[in-house]
Amino acid sequence: MTLINRSVAGALLFSAAFIFLTSLSAYGVDAKLIYRTYCTQCHGLDGSGKGVNTESMSVQPRDHTDPKGMSAISDAQLRKAIAKGGLSVSKSVLMPPWGATFNDEELDALVSYLRELCKCSE
């Protein structure tokens, strides 16, 4: 009984999350939510590069809150790194490619969000 209740609750929660996420996309892109969902396990909740995954990683994720390091990278390179992965910009393969996950609008929104995090421009 409890088991059934749990799976029903799980299914309801999943549908609620799905409806929430799909309704968001109808009203524009929430880059912060995307970042929190897909990027924080490596880059950290605050973007400082200290996510839960990083202890075992041989190359540490970039600190997106570092204005000096981030302003040295162009918007085009940030976008390419996100869409095509670390390797595409001669960085670590540990940075995954997201081009099949996000559309152009979402990729642009992510670049803008990174500029908010670093409080810097290229």
Minimum CB distance to ligand HEC smaller for 13 or for 33: 33
Phi, psi of 70 (to 5 degrees): -75, -35
How far is it, in rounded angstroms, from Cα 107 to Cα 75?
Answer: 11
Please report how close the Cβ of residue 25 comes to ligand HEC at its closest, in angstroms: 15
Find the shortest distance in angstroms from Cβ 72 to ligand HEC.
9
**Least CB distance from residue 17 to ligand HEC, whole Å?**
18
* Contacting positions for ligand HEC (CB under 6 A): 38-39, 41-43, 53, 57, 59, 61-62, 73, 77-78, 81-82, 86, 89, 91-92, 94-96, 98, 110, 114
Residue 116: alpha-carbon gap to chain centroid: 14
Instruction: Report how far residue 14's alpha carbon sits from residue 79's, in angstroms, rounded to the nearest whole number.
Output: 30
Nearer to ligand HEC, 17 or 72 (CB): 72
